[in-house]
Structure 1
Amino acid sequence: MKPRLSLFLGRAAALAVATSFVTTTIATPVLAAEPALADTARQIVIVGLAADEKENAEFLGEVQRAVEEHVNAEGKRDYQLKDPNPILNAGGEAQDRQNIATAKGFLDAGQASMQAEDFEDAVDQLGSAVNLLETSYGVLEDRSVYQSALLLLGEARRRRGDKAGALQAFRRAATIKTDAEGLSDAGRALFAQAAKELESSPAGAVQVNTEPPYAEVYVDGKFRGLSPRLVAGLAEGSHIVSVNKVGFARTSKRVDVSSTKMAHEELKLEPARRALLLDELKPKLAAEIDAAKGDVPVGGAAVEELGKLFRTETALIVRLEGPETQKSLGLYLFHTETKRLVSKVEIAEVDWSFKNKAAVDAAVKRVFDVNWTEALGGEVAEEPDDDGGSVTSEWWFWTLIGAAVAGGTVAAILLTQDDASPPPYDHDGSGAVVFQF
């Protein structure tokens, strides 16, 4: 009987297939199991009020990471970070999204050809899928689609008798850490050969420059720092460079890396189509933060418009000022529908000479220490503090003066994070290819 091949492009890790054939699964890897999302989790967007400087971009990246990693008392994530880029460039990524949709169609056609044992046509269809996915890699949300396409292409080339072509596809799959456990025995052997050759391959480098600078640089989906950035230690061969900067269109490019000559990529970023809307809101947001006072501080029209722009009920405004190594930090958590400033944290000085990750974590934890029922006007019982006063009388507001988080014994546990630490909004997804023989 002819082999049957089914492709699953969702995130499900377990696949149940009732069949009389032997079934194996190719599952794309997940770097780490992240905490589950709480049922009451709120979508949140982060907006930075800061000069376009490298240190500020690094600081904002740490805030984003801390928000993404924050969990409630039950160990579940209580905020779901919303990526602003697709919204700011709505319509501008239409071609990329069409490429991805077309690529999935080629995948379906490639599967049908594999099932019919028309490996010549399968190679054509799957090769077209891979090319389109590489072209629009920076916009691809589920990277497992690309991993699966490479594995299928390698298997199709092998079945056609093109060993060199199969090795090339498997090498790309190995470069991006794809799990090939579910390939056929012959396919696994060829994949292992490609992975071994990759390990012993000479290394090269690529210099990535962008205009404007301080864009996030990714190579094969892995965060490598901010531009301008020299990325070294790359195996010879093909790699995908992607760059991402809020307010600009995401872009990606395939780069050939050699051990004998450093590659250079000069990328000019195009403004996102709706970036001006956010730019116009920022000074208004700053003014509304300064004016939000009293027992029930509220913002204004800019806070409400921010919620409508990103279609999110909460927003965290991050204000950064000061020189390279000493930053003043303000975190302002708004409920955009009611415009209420439900929590704020202000730190006069944060030592940023060593990327003070612990100070950022502490500040984000404090700003999220919110009773949302009370914050939105619900009735809750007051809990007296040791002085007989009300803990909830100051529920919405904490002000931290000085660099207490960074000083004294706390400094001994502060962690330094280098440029290779990934931002939070980098999510690869997981999928599977099921081969039935």
Structure 2
Amino acid sequence: MIWILRFSLTAFVVTAPAVPVWAQTPTPRVWLAPLGAEAGPGAGMISEKFDEAARSELRKQRHVELRGDPASTGAASTSGQDVRVDQAENLRTAAKAAFARNDFETALTQLRGALVLYEEAIASVNKLQAVLETLGYLGACSLALGYDDEAKDYFQRVLAIMPDAAPLDEYPAETAALFEKLKLQQAKKKKGSVVIKTVPSGAEIRVDGVDKGLSPATVTDLSRGEHYIQATHAEAGLGGLKVEIKGAKPEVVELTLSTTIGPAPAKPVDPALIREVAALVAQGKFGLPFREKATEVAALTLARCLVVGNVQPQGNGFVLDAYVYDVEQKQTAALDQVRFRADLSSVAVQAAGFARTVEGACGKFPFDKIIVGGVVARVAPAPVVTPPLVVEPEPAPVVVAKPKAQRVRLPPAQTLDDEGLSLEDDDGEPWHKAWWLWAAAGAVVIGGTATAGYLLLQDGAQRDTVDGKVTW
């Protein structure tokens, strides 16, 4: 018989309402410690009233499960099956809507939460096809987001349970090719077997949703990988688990059946342990000792969130300082301070608001209110990145190049010859007989005579003689 997975892989966007944050993860389990009170008139009584009102309001909240509470609604739904199955169904439905609108991140978160709930309540899961569909959608979402290794793991888990599964026609070519490739690899793997025992024996056994007779039973020809085993007994109740077939050697499992439906009931917490926790809270000490005590309480109550608080008088009223410890985060956060008066109406109103605050904090842990040593440590603002100081070098001094020296050729210096300075002209005639000398002397005589005559004429016309003297 060939099994075909039918996933709604659509390429178009379907309009769907936004999925609230509550539907994205399994319902958190909360344990509320008895509220403490400081010394003061009426503080002890008012803290008890507030504690009672807060528990009543927490039971009404749809998105938290109050643990360790004798008045809890129980672990079975109205249909009689495990409440975790109903929660997983709601998550799977919301995830399919997110997948249809291509919101793969939201769908992946919701599908992971649904798978956790399905596997916790596997004994009560009537239709294993819902688990397989969840695995298939997980593979498709992972591949769409680029998580190739996770996608292969989810598809291999589907093929281990249903080796003849076929990819959908709506798969993209890449997804279909990956699925077919993994299918061929799965067919080549060796088979394994499992031996199933139950307490008591004689229970009806189903492996991967297929009947395998009564326990003890040996089931062979199982593909390597993870498989789901369920057991049902008319009187002893139910049992179930997930087993991994690793090799040729048979795996041996033993189931203890129980008539209890739903999560294991919380174990009572030792009052001495509660007092130790209350003392640390009153002192504002939330370090390692507090975390160790809180972890002990969580192991007993199976709670993920532990809420503690202390009531003290303030003015004409009272104030509640409360804190939430997340076991997974291993951190404690401060809740908003609650102020109320010493009357029942004020207590009821503020207790309802406190329950909503707890619901919101456990649904989305308030990382901005993490406390260390009793001091609320807000998230530090992002550091301002100061650009590195760039020191620009001083400009190099400008060196003015000197003009290149030019060589000027000078006329050759005149030197005296061996004969000394000659007083004769070029013709060899003595200088005092040279014509040019006497021409110059004549010019001087003529100029002097003319000047003297002019001066005499200016002094008087009656003078008819001129005296002149030429000095050599």
TM-score by length of 2: 0.36
Name the structure with the higher strand share.
1
* Higher RCO (CA 8 Å, separation ≥ 6 residues): 1
- Larger C-alpha radius of gyration, 1 or 2? 2
TM-score by length of 1: 0.39
